[in-house]
Amino acid sequence: LDILRHKALTQMAQESGGSATVRLNTLDWLGGQGREQADNEWHDAINWLGDWCSEEQHPVIWSTTQAAEHLPVRMPRLCSAERLSESMVDEIFQKGAA
């Protein structure tokens, strides 16, 4: 899982154009959710892939995959690529997650 965490961290830091430890507004990380799309099939597919998660137990995965007007209470409002990538991998692969 450490390799996966590192790959996710590297990709997120590269795409954000910053350091792995620079904290950005969470809504900036989730920017794709607010955009109007002519074809929403991709968004429906992402929602379906994340339908196993819960807002309380998996705040990062839930925020990433589900359309929501408000972030879960447990979702940090400022996040670094490091924090998000580690939390995402941990939430997906924790025991009893599904």
Asked if 10 and 86 touch (Cβ cutoff 8 Å), the reply is no
Domain boundaries, the chain: 2-33+40-93
Read off the pLDDT of residues 63-94 as tens digits, 9 standing for 90 and up.
888 876 778 888 989 999 999 999 999 999 98
Apex CA 46: angle with CA 43 and CA 49, to 5°?
Answer: 150
26-54 as b/e: b if 16+ CB within 10 A: beebbeebeeeeeeeeebeebeeebeebe
| pTM score over 0.85 | no
Read off the pLDDT of residues 11-64 as tens digits, 9 standing for 90 and up.
988 888 878 888 888 888 877 555 555 567 888 888 898 889 999 999 999 988
What number of CA atoms fall less than 13 Å from residue 46's CA on the CB side? 15
